[in-house]
Each structure stands twice: as C-alpha cells, then as structure tokens.
Amino acid sequence: MSNPIIIVAGEPNSVFLEIFFKSIDRLKHESPLILICSEKLLKVQMKFFKFKKKVRLLNQRKLKDYKLDNNSINLINVDYKFDKIFDKVSKNSNQYIKDSFLLACKILKSNYTNKFINGPISKKHFLEKKYLGITEYLSKKFKTTSTCMLIYNKKLSVCPLTTHLPLKFVSNSINQKLIIDKIKLIDFFYKKELFIKPRIGILGLNPHCETIDKIDEEKKIIYPAITKLKDLNIKIFGPISADTAFLKQNRKKYDVIVGMYHDQVLTPIKTLFEYDAINITIGLPFLRISPDHGPNEKMISKNLSDPLSLIKAIKFLDKR
C-alpha cells in the first residue's frame, strides 16, 4: 500500500472540511488519509453536512502499528474549543492551527511518510507577518534554504519568484541567484517527479520587458540569469512580455511560466483553470501540497464549494 497522506485541516472557520467530505466521497485512491483536526469540530460538521462515515481515532505515537485503509476517517485529534460551528476567522484559532502543524511536522520528520496536504490558513492572523506564507513557514521548520511555489496543472504550471510580497518591494528582491535557484528547483522537480525535461518561460518585470528607468531589470538581472541557466542545459526562454505570454498559442510553448511576483502569474492561471490546479512547495524534504484556495469565509456553511483542487492534490500524491 502507498504511504499515507497527512492532512492538516488548517483554519477551522473555512470551507476545508466541506470540500474534504466531498473529496473522499467522490475519490478512489490507494494512499490512506490521516486527518489532523479537532474531533469535536469534525463530527459537528459531518452532522451539519449530512456526511456519514466512521471516524477512527489514532495515537500519533503509534502510527507505525496501525493497518490503515480508507473505510473510515483516520483522525488524529487536536483539541479546539469553540462556541459556534462556523465563526469569523480570527486569532482565536492560532494555537489550534499551530498545534496541528507542529504535530504534522513531527510525523514528517520521523520519515513515517513523505506526503503532506494542508488546508487553508489566514496569513493575516496565523502567520502574523512573521512569514509570507506557509511555504516560508515550513521552510523555516525544516531548515530549508531554497524552496519555491509551483501552481501546478498538467497543461501549464506557474511559479512566482516572490510570493506574498507587496509590489513596492518586488524589484529590490529580484536577483540572478534567486532566479537561478528557483529555475533549477523546478527543472529538477519535473525530471524527478514527472519524468519531463520542462520547457520554462520566464517573464520580464516591466511592461513589454521595457523601462524608462535607469535600472533595467531585464537586461541587468533576468537575461544574464537565463544565459547561465542555458549553460546548465535547462530549456529556458525569455524574458517574455507578461501581457502576451498566456495567449493560447504562446502558452503552448511552455510547461512552466515563471513570473516576478505573485499576481503576475496566479491571476492568469486561475482564470484559465479555476480550481483545477494545486499549490506544490518544491524543495522541502517531502511533497507538500495545498488546494489552491483560501478559507473563503463567504462560502462557509453554504455547501457550494468546489472540491476539485483537493481532489487533484490527493490524486497527485496517491501516484507517488
């Protein structure tokens, strides 16, 4: 049987458990799922969404002793006190989320499995400006110096060189080493996990890859980095103008398009594929994926959320 997939439910006031129920109801997979979540919260939401399945409580210290399957929800309970089944996202859940992640990290460090999915969290409340995102949070926990965010779809993936960074800081954060390190990670990941030598397109920072400023990032930073990467036999092209890179005929030329900042590539990829994409952190000592959506407070309790991204995440890890 395949290695288990550890799943941290994340922010309790989110749509995650709803899409989790929908996913396991629709999905056939070999890898056992181990959910890290509040037992009380899980059961009240199961009742609310009329989802029926047995819950099997696990002792995290004895995971290797269990014979796991997916006939029930394999659960590691994390205590969480709440008054309302659905509430506003706030700092009140920070300790619960922290405990959940620390437990998952402990399991992953034990080499019990190398597969991890986390539900959404609030960057504003849980990370409290200490980290730009969960990518950086996990990188710190595992002392990993070089990671990158890959929003993956089989037809086309994207990677932002800088993640959740205010635009005014982007230009000063880009350098040749950053570009080279991220591209090498992507190239290695595609070869190792997908058995593909990827075609990578890299966008310019400025509109049309031009600027009236004294500092020309395309000429001084991006183009020299591309030249060095070509010397490493990496299939890389650019710099490409961001306003035309995602046109139908243009995007067919690449497996991955790398942008300078978050929304430069995430806006078009979500427009093209909506929930048919997953967020993979490359460079960690395990495979970490999160569904490509946030807590989505406006949709909580409506039973209308699309589980496709979580389904894709489980399918991706199930094959590995």
Q: Is 240 helix (H, G, I), strand (E, B) or coil?
A: strand
- pLDDT of 145 reads 85
SS3 label, residue 65: helix
For 35-39, 124-128, 171-175, which range has the lowest pLDDT when averaged over its residues? 124-128
Q: Does position 33 have pLDDT exceeding 90, yes or no?
A: yes
End-to-end CA distance of the chain: 11
Q: Does residue 1 have a pLDDT over 70? A: no
Does the structure show a pLDDT above 70 at 153?
yes
Residue 89, pLDDT score: 87
Residue 165 makes CB contacts below 8 A (sequence gap 6+) with: 132, 173, 261, 262
Report residue 286's pLDDT band, with 50, 70 and 90 as the boundaries: very high
pLDDT at 311 > cutoff 80:
yes
DSSP three-state, residue 258? strand
Each residue of 229-271: pLDDT tens digit?
999 999 999 999 999 999 999 999 999 999 999 999 999 999 9
pLDDT at res. 83: 86
Domain residue ranges in the chain: 1-144+284-320, 149-275
CATH number for the domain running over 149-275: 3.40.718.10
Q: Rounded to two decimals, what is the model's pTM?
A: 0.92
User: Quick one: fold of 1-144+284-320?
Assistant: Isopropylmalate Dehydrogenase (3.40.718)
| pLDDT of 211 above 70 | yes
pLDDT recorded at residue 296: 85
